[in-house]
Amino acid sequence: MRESSFNIELINNPTKEFAYILGFLWADGYLLPNTNTVSLEIVEKDAEIIKETVLKTGNWIVYNRVRSSKDGYVRQKTTKFHVTDNILRTFLEKHDYTKKSFNSFKSIYYYLPEGLRKYFLRGYIDGDGCIYASPKNNLYQFHISSTINQDWSIFNDIFKPFNINYHITKRNQIRSDGKINKSSKIQTSNADSISNFFAYIYDDFVTNNIGLLRKYNKFVDILNRQKTNIKAN
């Protein structure tokens, strides 16, 4: 197997692609204990879309696998990206990636130049966000899910320029095996605010194609709804 490597110059001179990957890593990445390995694992169909973006940041190892749960349920095929680099690992630890189950991403977010922060958010939303658009029912929602103790406070700063009112919910869900899944999410359902926010997140998506098309298309549904309402008024 070929050796992995990361372009460490990106740490001091981040690019759009690196900012995006940092966001996705905050959502779905992990640092293997006692190693210098950084990994990101997502469903195969999404991985195929972002693969080019990932590989622009380094020589990541890429492979597919199908995992089975203990009850025999076969999950979707996933793709795993991983790279081994001590400098990258140390950088991510410094910015709380080993504490992301409860810490805010404030450290890494404000480390990035202001012009790159939208790409971090794009990656984070591609990993943990959900954009729901149902024009027929006039229902539009956006939420991000995480652990029950997640610190959501940074969204006070992120949402304020867009006048987004949001609420945070926590829940304990009992699984079929009797165990409890604990989670929290931050959510908003104002279509105009959501549209303005994603216009910022995705303003150059059609030119650089950084991110998941299916998430972008949900934003387009909401944007079209907003334009229709303006014409109607």
In the predicted model, what is the mean pLDDT of the chain? 89
Arithmetic mean of pLDDT, 18-28? 98
Is pLDDT larger for residue 108 or for residue 230? 108
Which residue, among 127, 44, 128, has the nearest Cα to 78 in the 3D structure?
A: 44
pLDDT in tens, 75-120: 779 999 999 999 999 999 999 999 999 999 999 999 999 999 999 9
Q: Does the structure show a pLDDT above 80 at 230?
A: no
Q: What are the angstrom distances between the C-alpha of 186 and each of 104, 107, 129, 189, 213?
A: 13, 19, 10, 11, 22
Q: At a CB cut-off of 8 Å and minimum separation 6, what does 24 contact?
A: 40, 42, 50, 123, 124, 126, 127
Burial class (CB in 10 A: 0-12, 13-18, 19+), 113: exposed
Q: State the amino acid at position 63 in one-letter form.
A: Y
Is pLDDT larger for residue 187 or for residue 222? 187
Arithmetic mean of pLDDT, 46-55? 97
pLDDT in tens, 207-218: 999 999 999 998
pLDDT in tens, 178-199: 677 889 999 998 888 888 899 9
Supply 232's token pair.
């109607």
Is pLDDT larger for residue 86 or for residue 68? 86
Predicted local distance difference test score (pLDDT) of residue 188: 92
Q: At a CB cut-off of 8 Å and minimum separation 6, what does 19 contact?
A: 112, 116, 117, 119, 120, 123
Arithmetic mean of pLDDT, 154-161? 95
Nearest-5° angle of CA 185, CA 70, CA 143?
Answer: 10
Predicted local distance difference test score (pLDDT) of residue 173: 76
CATH superfamily of 5-232: Homing endonucleases (3.10.28.10)
Nearest-5° angle of CA 75, CA 80, CA 85?
Answer: 150
Supply 160's token pair.
């304020």
Strand partners, 111: none
Predicted local distance difference test score (pLDDT) of residue 233: 44
